[in-house]
Amino acid sequence: MKEEKMEKTTVCILDDEAIVGDRLKPELEDDGYEVEVFTDSASALARVNETCFDIFITDLKMEGVDGMGFLERVKEKCPESEVIVITGYATMETARESLIKGAYDFIAKPFRIGEIKAAVKKAKKKARRRRQA
Amino acid sequence: MLYLGNALAALKNLLLREKENQVPFSDLFVWFQNILKKNNAAMELIADMGGKMGGEFIFDRKYLSDSVKKLQELVRSSAYDLNYITDNQYLELYGVIEDLAKKLEIELSGKMVIHGAKRIYALNEIEDGMEDLVGFKTYNLSRILNLSGVNIPDSFAVTVGGFRDYMAYNNLFEKIEGSIEECRNGQRSVESVSNSIQLMILGGEIPPELRRQILAAAERISQGKPGSCYFAIRSSGVGEDGDLSFAGLHDSFLNVQFDELLSNYKKVLASLYNQAGLEYRLRMNILSLEMAMPVLYQKMIDSRVAGVLFTLDPNRPDRPESLLSGTWGSGKVVVEGDEGVETFRISRSPPYPVVEQQTNSTPHMPGSLHTGPSEKGSDEPNAGPCLTSKEVPPIMDVGLILERYFKRPLDVEWSIDEGGQLWILQARQLHIPRQKRMEYTELKGATEGHRVLFKDRGMIAYRGIGAGPVWVVDNDHDLTHFPRGGVLVSHYAPPSLAKVIPRASAIITDVGAVTGHMATVAREFRVPTIVGTDVATRLLAANQEVTVDTERNIVYEGLIQELIRHQLLDGPSFEMTREFQLLRRLLKKIAPLSLTDPDDPGFAPKGCQTFHDVMRFVHEKAFRALVQAGKDSRSFLRRGGKRLRSRLPLDLVLIDIGGGLAEGTDKDIYVDPDQITSLPMKAIWKGLSSPDSWNTEPIPVDLKGLMSSLTRTQSAEVMGNTLPSVNLAVLGSNYVNLSLPLGYHFTAVDAAIGSSPENNNISFRFVGGVTDITRRSRRAALLATILEKAGFKVKMNGDLVIARAINLSEELMMEQLYLIGKLIGFARQLDVLLKNDEDVGYYFQKFREQAEKPVERYEGGKNGEDDSLYSG
């Protein structure tokens, strides 16, 4: 049997409400992800310039560059990454817009932990398939 | 003449205006429906917020402020609607609503209001979110006050406000700030500044009002014997025991006599600025204005043996063992680390066998304790072990109950008095070095090799990990014998489970809703809970050991220590997040329902303590406004009411506010039961009209019952003081309000039932009867037992029974209403039958047999009556 040490899937969480990252980080870490958390889009973007995470989770409504802008920048810089949009202002319109702009999934806040974990898991599979292709 | 003419015109105007102000009856339906809709929306919001308390959801501040805002709008506009249809009878409501709204907004703004708050709180007066006011030490004790089997000595707290009063009264703030500044810029040493500040504080005077309040509170505790009552006076600093960094920096004093209560208060305050404390604060750059010292006064226990329990070994948190130290006397030796201490390493599993025993060991505890002159017996050597094998299990039991509650390893100070009673003096988070935590919290592979009994079944009502033996609860006997730390497994989730919830390590039910009464109690006590699994009672066997992981929704066979440890040692749990604590505080002002009895004098705007109360009040008064528009059957029939054709001796008038009756019924004055389309009314009627329910044969009244019935008049209390004496059902497609002033009884049912459980609720009220109060109370007891068994939350007062069920599925709610229908018929003449207390048991059994016949259970089908029996 071939033993291959898998590298951890990396996740970047951006939400100006600290609670989202605070609670999500340990949950995803328990599932074996490597997680970084940001509460302002400027520092998250600075980090994106250094490295592409496998998966991004971003809020929509924020000071400065908002989630939609962040999504665009991420898709530009890291086309292979998957982006999951989370928002408390969920409307059909914002959902459609974010999906058109390349978001992988769209989740309304508040959400169940299981719900976002499932979305991250699916995104991970997709990212891996894409990389293998 | 002209004068008279003017007067007549004015009178006519007045009458006309009065008439204009009255909302036409047909419009009342629309308004009432609007109020119902808003009521439903509000209930749904409240249930939604309650559901977020389980830890399953990630929610942010925006969710909280949005929800509160929506709720405020609903409550305000409902109050407006009510005032519109009642010609402004309830203007007082607006003020009540604004007061509540203001309180919620203060919570949301995060500001703590100290001004105006009391300076002294007894433990049971301390509410959620007061940790910054009374300090963590006191706050923790107040949180565990209601846990079953945990005894805490009588205590009170002097708040941060008391501290500030003291500092302000003695002009100390500026002086201290000046001294600290000298320390910061290196002019003076920490030691010298610390000494001079402490002297300043000790030299101050306690403000007269605070003095009076402290002495009065102590007097209450000493119960008129101040000479023989001693106190422990403990620092309960903000941040202390909550955030470990402060732990033990400050002083506590034991065995303080009554006449030294005030001087010791100053000593505890002064210790805020002792050298270690001052150094720490300088290093952390904490400003003096942010420094505060709430103080805990605790009655001393005359202890025979006392000590400390570490629920885990801080150096080997991987072992399923606790460390228990004890010594003769007050326990000061244990905390100070002198000789004569016995330490046991004890297995965390019942019956808690001792794994290892040491004497003269010295478990450390930071900080200093001072004992007063009255320390008794501490110098007298006592031969033999201080703890007997019988005394260990209760200490372990309580320690693990507390640990389950705080979800943290704990350091618990305990004491056993001369009478053998166990007391908890303090409970705080046990410090486990970070490195040890990291070393032993690896989760990977922990569950390997453990059989999954079931997973992803039902809904999580509270997140966490619990483990223990399965205890299936089916009846009162099972409940009474529920073991501490057991996993509670039950088919239903009735509110009656509440009494054992604090003892459970986890709860699993086949049926139930995350927003139901039982789940709310489980969250209150932080017990990991899954409801609605369908399979729990089938797949889990009594006494089987299981681990319930409600974080991942899996039930494993066996006890998985790694999982339990992971919960205890992993980062802060969700309960500690600000958002969660804020939600908890908001819900306290939103969700509890205290207005349950519409005929109670307290059922008034000023009695509304929460938004739920306001909605309940508005609903009830709007309903009454609707039905008061008619005085008797005829007046309702004139306004579009219908008579129900039935063989039952029940002249029931139906008023359809929309969707309650089949189309095409508007021409006829009579309707048949199968023309009822109101979902909840269909279920009630099916129960009410089922063959056994309505015994029409006269029941022999014995002499005592008869005499009583002759002398008894129909008081307002029986009839419901403002309702017309007509058997009346107001129907909507998903709503019913049924009031039956049947003879001497008064029954009322208000129910809303639809596909969304959050909106579903039933309230039932029964009062009155033909005989004396003893018999009527017997009947009330019988009804209460039946309803409780069926999953209702029941309140009883004399012959009044009030029952509520909320948030169950449509199907279950229909079953509940079917049962209520049967009960109405059954209870009608019960009080006459219940000649002695034994009869209660007999008729309870009789009703159960009747209600549980398989064909008799509600099956959602056709109404129970045979068409040919209708008398018209």
Collect the ranges in chain B with pLDDT lower than 50.
1, 14-20, 115, 240-245, 361-369, 372-383, 696, 698-699, 701, 703-721, 854-857, 859-872
Residue B763 lies in a domain: yes
Residue B687 structure tokens: 């129960």
How many domains is chain B partitioned into structurally?
5
Contacts of B579 in chain A (CB under 8 A): 19
Whether the bond between B353 and the residue before it is cis, its omega within 30 degrees of 0, is no
Phi and psi based region of residue B239 (left: phi greater than 0; alpha: psi -120 to 50; beta: remaining): left
pLDDT at B550: 93
Contacts of B571 in chain A (CB under 8 A): 26
Contacts of B57 in chain A (CB under 8 A): 110-113
> CB-based contact (8 Å) between A24 and chain B?
yes
Range of the domain at B45: 17-111+615-629
* A19 contacts B58? CB cut-off 8 A: yes
Cβ-based neighbours of B869, under 8 Å, separated by 6 or more: B647
Contacts of B58 in chain A (CB under 8 A): 19-20, 23-24, 109-111, 113, 116
* B443 contacts A110? CB cut-off 8 A: no
Total residues belonging to chain B: 872
Do B315 and B293 fall within a single domain? no
Q: Name the minimum distance, in Å, from the CA of A47 to any CA of chain B.
A: 24
Do B147 and B282 fall within a single domain? yes
Contacts of A112 in chain B (CB under 8 A): 56-57
* A109 contacts B58? CB cut-off 8 A: yes
pLDDT at B383: 46
> CB-based contact (8 Å) between B57 and chain A?
yes
Residue ending a domain, among B299, B320, B345, is B299
Do B428 and B448 fall within a single domain? no
Any idea which residue has 């410090």 for tokens?
A: B431
Residue B605 structure tokens: 């705007």
* B574 contacts A23? CB cut-off 8 A: yes
Do B153 and B264 fall within a single domain? yes
Residue B512 lies in a domain: yes
Quote the CA–CA distance of B237 and B77 in Å, as a whole number: 44
Q: Are A106 and A98 in contact (CB under 8 A)?
A: yes
Do B312 and B424 fall within a single domain? yes
> CB-based contact (8 Å) between A15 and chain B?
yes
Do B347 and B490 fall within a single domain? no
A10-132 adopts what CATH topology? Rossmann fold (3.40.50)
| SS3 letters across B391-444 | CHHHHHHHHHHHHHHHCCCEEEEEEEECCCCEEEEEEEECCCCHHHHHHHCCCC
Contacts of B551 in chain A (CB under 8 A): 113
Q: Name the minimum distance, in Å, from the CA of B755 to any CA of chain A.
A: 22
The distance from CA B647 to its chain's CA centroid, rounded to whole angstroms, is 45
* A15 contacts B66? CB cut-off 8 A: no
Q: Are B725 and B714 in contact (CB under 8 A)?
A: no
Residue B1 lies in a domain: no
Quote the CA–CA distance of A47 and A35 in Å, as a whole number: 13
Contacts of A13 in chain B (CB under 8 A): none
Nearest to B57 among A26, A30, A112 (CB): A112
Q: Give helix then strand counts, H and E, for chain B.
A: 29, 30
* A23 contacts B56? CB cut-off 8 A: no
Question: Given the DSSP bridges, would you call strands B295-299 and B155-158 parallel, antiparallel or unpaired?
Answer: antiparallel
* pLDDT tens digits for range B514-537: 888 888 889 888 899 999 899 999
Rg (CA), chain B: 32
Q: Minimal CA–CA distance to B492: which of B508, B468, B470? A: B508
Quote the CA–CA distance of B196 and B192 in Å, as a whole number: 6
Question: Given the DSSP bridges, would you call strands B545-549 and B642-644 parallel, antiparallel or unpaired?
Answer: unpaired
Q: Is A129 helix (H, G, I), strand (E, B) or coil?
A: helix
Q: Name the minimum distance, in Å, from the CA of A117 to any CA of chain B.
A: 11
Residue ending a domain, among B299, B314, B339, is B299
pLDDT at B422: 95
Any idea which residue has 């004491």 for tokens?
A: B415
Contacts of B578 in chain A (CB under 8 A): 19
- The secondary structure element, H or E, covering residue B624 is helix B611-628
> CB-based contact (8 Å) between B48 and chain A?
no
> CB-based contact (8 Å) between B455 and chain A?
no
Residue ending a domain, among B412, B439, B466, is B439
pLDDT at B116: 60
Q: Distance from first CA to last CA of chain A, Å, rounded? A: 23
Show the DSSP H helices in B301-386 as ranges: 332-336
Do B68 and B160 fall within a single domain? no
Contacts of B56 in chain A (CB under 8 A): 112-114
Do B433 and B451 fall within a single domain? no
Residue B592 lies in a domain: no
pLDDT at B68: 97
Do B765 and B833 fall within a single domain? yes
Give, in order, the Cα–Cα distances in Å from B430 to each of A2, B306, B399.
44, 18, 12
pLDDT at B7: 61
Preferred mutation among A111, A113, A116 to probe B, highest tally of B CBs within 10 A: A113
**Phi, psi (5° rounding) for residue B652?**
-100, 125
Contacts of A108 in chain B (CB under 8 A): none
> CB-based contact (8 Å) between B571 and chain A?
yes
Q: Which DSSP category does A101 fall into?
A: T
Show the DSSP H helices in B185-260 as ranges: 190-202, 208-222
| SS3 letters across B647-678 | CCCCCEEEEEEECCECCCCCCCCEECHHHECC
What is the interface pTM, i.e. ipTM, of the complex? Answer: 0.93
* B60 contacts A17? CB cut-off 8 A: yes
* A109 contacts B56? CB cut-off 8 A: no
pLDDT at B350: 83
- The secondary structure element, H or E, covering residue B701 is none
Q: Is B99 helix (H, G, I), strand (E, B) or coil?
A: helix
For residue B418, the domain's CATH number is: 3.30.470.20
**Phi, psi (5° rounding) for residue B508?**
-135, 130
* pLDDT tens digits for range A6-50: 688 999 999 999 999 999 998 999 889 999 999 999 999 999 999
* A26 contacts B58? CB cut-off 8 A: no
Do B50 and B166 fall within a single domain? no
Contacts of A32 in chain B (CB under 8 A): 444
Do B134 and B246 fall within a single domain? yes
Nearest to B60 among A19, A113, A114 (CB): A19
Contacts of B61 in chain A (CB under 8 A): 17, 19
Cβ-based neighbours of B227, under 8 Å, separated by 6 or more: B258
* B59 contacts A109? CB cut-off 8 A: yes
* B52 contacts A88? CB cut-off 8 A: no
Do B464 and B551 fall within a single domain? yes
Phi and psi based region of residue B41 (left: phi greater than 0; alpha: psi -120 to 50; beta: remaining): alpha
pLDDT at B856: 43
| SS3 letters across A9-77 | CEEEEECCCHHHHHHHHHHHHHCCCEEEEECCHHHHHHHHHHCCCCEEEEECCCCCCCHHHHHHHHHHH
**Phi, psi (5° rounding) for residue B584?**
-60, -45
Residue B12 lies in a domain: no
Quote the CA–CA distance of B299 and B156 in Å, as a whole number: 9
Q: Name the minimum distance, in Å, from the CA of A32 to any CA of chain B.
A: 9
